[in-house]
Amino acid sequence: MTIDWRYTVEENLGVLSVAGYLGPDAVRRFTGAIGWALARGTGPVIVDLAELRSWSAEGQLAVIDAARRLAEADRGLELAAIPADGSLVPTADGPPIPVHADVATALAAHQAEQGEPVQGRHEWRTTGWPTEGEAGE
């Protein structure tokens, strides 16, 4: 099992939505998605886990590693809607990882910091991610 992802660039931040199971087989794909976010955005990356069914210890370690990679680029990683069956336990030597109830809460926190959002949005996704109109069909 693996994951599908969608990366959306908003004003001064990115939202990486992840769906599926973030286990050992999906770590490489998640790491690639983080690389994509590093190359195509600025500011913090909010990882939206609302569509994630579950994650393994390896998946959680991949998230912690992603936070380190982003911190090295002077960017932060934040989580939204962590799976109910597990919580991320960051290591003491890693960067802080803010956790939000959902992506709307995370975006609202950043909008309050930055003011009104600027028009213009870019989006990339894996082929398995549903396009608008396909969701819920």
CATH architecture of 3-98: 2-Layer Sandwich (3.30)
Summarize the confidence of residues 5-11 as an average pLDDT. 87
User: CB under 8 Å to 2, separation ≥6 — which residues?
Assistant: 20, 21, 25, 26, 29
Higher pLDDT, 113 or 71: 71
pTM of the model: 0.82
Question: What are the residue ranges spanned by the domains of the chain?
Answer: 3-98
d(CA 67, CA 73): 10
d(CA 95, CA 79): 13
At 129 the pLDDT is 74
d(CA 137, CA 127): 17
Q: Which tokens is 91 given?
A: 């290591």
| Residue 91's pLDDT band (cuts 50, 70, 90) | low
